[in-house]
């Protein structure tokens, strides 16, 4: 499944700071008195969308280690038989560690 939002959050604080910036901008724009009530509702909707996207990304960030831990260890990639063995012996995989799996 292709991810809808590809922006990566480097830490949870990054997302929290953006939520605070968007909140301050909303308060500043609505408090300026230059917008009608309908425009203020539109600004609030945009704010809800931006905060929702950030919260979604924060949830993905927090849950990522859980998914990584639950990965099946049998799904690890096995090198090709004629490739060098990953153990560092210098032998081909099929003559070294690969022979024990047959």
Arithmetic mean of pLDDT, 58-82: 66
**CA-based nearest residue to 59, from 25, 2, 22, 16:** 16
CB-based contacts of 92, cutoff 8 Å, min separation 6: 81, 82, 83, 84, 85, 98
CB-based contacts of 7, cutoff 8 Å, min separation 6: 57
The rounded distance, in Å, linking the Cα atoms of 102 and 51 is: 53
pLDDT in tens, 1-60: 455 555 555 677 788 888 899 899 999 999 998 999 999 999 999 999 999 988 888 887
CB-based contacts of 96, cutoff 8 Å, min separation 6: 85, 87, 89
Q: Is 92 exposed, middle or buried (0-12, 13-18, 19+ CB in 10 A)?
A: middle
CB 12 within 8 A of CB 62: yes
pLDDT at position 49, please? 93
Arithmetic mean of pLDDT, 57-76: 64
pLDDT at position 1, please? 47
pLDDT at position 86, please? 79
């Amino acid at each position: 499944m292709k991810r809808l939002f590809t922006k990566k959050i480097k830490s949870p604080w990054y997302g929290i700071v953006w939520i605070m910036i968007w909140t301050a901008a909303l308060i500043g724009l609505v408090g300026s008195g230059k917008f009608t009530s309908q425009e203020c509702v539109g600004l609030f909707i945009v704010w809800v969308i931006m905060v929702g996207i950030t919260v979604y990304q924060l949830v993905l960030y927090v849950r990522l280690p859980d998914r990584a831990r639950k990965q099946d260890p049998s799904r690890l990639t096995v090198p090709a038989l004629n490739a060098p063995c990953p153990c560092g012996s210098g032998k081909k995989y099929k003559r070294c560690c690969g022979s024990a799996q047959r």
